[in-house]
Structure 1
Amino acid sequence: MELPQRLYIHLPEKYEGFQKLGEWDHGIVITDLNPLVTHGELHNYFEKFGTITEFVFRIDDSSGWPKGVGFVRYSSSEEAKAAEEAGPHCLGGFPLWINKVVTPKMSVQNRSDSQLNTPPCQSLRKDLCVN
């Protein structure tokens, strides 16, 4: 049986009432990363906005180079919002594109260690899909 994959949803503020329909994790999707920025540099940069509970930094399997996309899950919606609104963000000489997202919470039995480092394969916007 294949485990469910995360779905990252950009939810504009006017639709935040939708979040009352379930339990959600809050985070940001980061795109347009400089390929020379390291996992540690990116993590340290976004750590100042709050407690990071999940961090995904995509590396291309064939080349070993970063894909230019990352995901940071914070412990609260306020922290994710602070990271998004603190911009404009620039790291490694490149401006970053940041978008606050929500993901449905996964129960402990549905979450595996491999999923903590697995990127989303679905997106409501094709430019956010990181696979």
Structure 2
Amino acid sequence: MTSGGMKTAPNKRPYICIPKKLIDLLAEQYELEHGLLVEDLNPYINEGYIQAYFREWGTIKSCKIRKNPNSGKQKSLAFVKFSCEEEADMADWVGPHNIGGTQVKVRRFVTFKGEEDSEQGVDGATVKPRPRPSMGLGYLLEDAQWLDEDE
């Protein structure tokens, strides 16, 4: 359970939101992964959209979206892991973030680096596709005689 004198954690890992100075103290004892917790997301936002948004500030290792169980509203939250601490800090400091037309809350988190890089700690939620409204043009396209220019 150690690698190079540093402790690692089991597969199911906690996501810890603590101040920066305490993160540094924790980093002395454990290998850490750094990321952002994005709250109050539109429920129709998918992982690809979140990755594209945060790609500007660094390399995204993983992105998982879950429904917010503590919220009475239809909101989601996302866990975005970056490849290093500086990238996560930069993405946090440039806020406020407006994702998908909604201003979201962003908080830094750390988690212990596991023995395996499997994502068993966070289960991704299924994202419902946005229902497409009818364009109301079905009756026009049924008979295409108006497209003929032979008149």
Taking structure 1 as the reference length, the TM-score comes to 0.73
Structure 1 residue 77 corresponds to structure 2 residue 77: no
**Quick check: 1:8 aligned with 2:15?**
yes
1:118 aligns with 2:123: yes
Give the structure with the higher percent strand: 1
Q: Contact (CA 8 Å) 1:54, 1:116: kept in 2 or not?
A: no
Alignment size in residue pairs = 109
| Contact preservation (8 Å) 2:11, 2:115 | no
Give 3-state SS (helix, strand or coil) of 1:36's partner. Answer: coil
Q: Matched residues, percent identical?
A: 34
Match of 1:34 among 28, 36, 42: 42
Mapped partners of 1:94, 1:20: distance in 2: 37
Q: Which amino acid aligns with 2:66?
A: R
Distance (Å, rounded) in 2 between the aligned partners of 1:28 and 1:47: 13
Is the Cα contact below 8 Å between 2:31 and 2:112 reproduced in 1? yes
Q: Which residue does the alignment assign to 2:148?
A: none
2:103 paired residue number: 95
Pairwise CA distance, 1:117: 5.3
User: Which AA in structure 1 matches 2:31?
Assistant: E
Deviations 1:72-131 (A, max 9, x none): 1111000001111110000122111111111001012xx54x527526xxxxxxxxxxxx
Partner of 2:133: none
- What is the CA–CA distance in structure 1 between the aligned matches of 2:31 and 2:121, rounded to whole Å? 18
| CA RMSD across the alignment | 2.2
Can you give the 5+ residue segments of structure 1 that lack an aligned partner in the other structure?
Answer: 61-65, 120-131
Question: Which gives a bigger RCO, structure 1 or 2 (Cα 8 Å, sep 6+)?
Answer: 1
The Cα of 1:14 is off from its aligned counterpart by 2.4
TM-score using structure 2 length: 0.64
Secondary structure at the aligned position of 2:80 is classed as strand
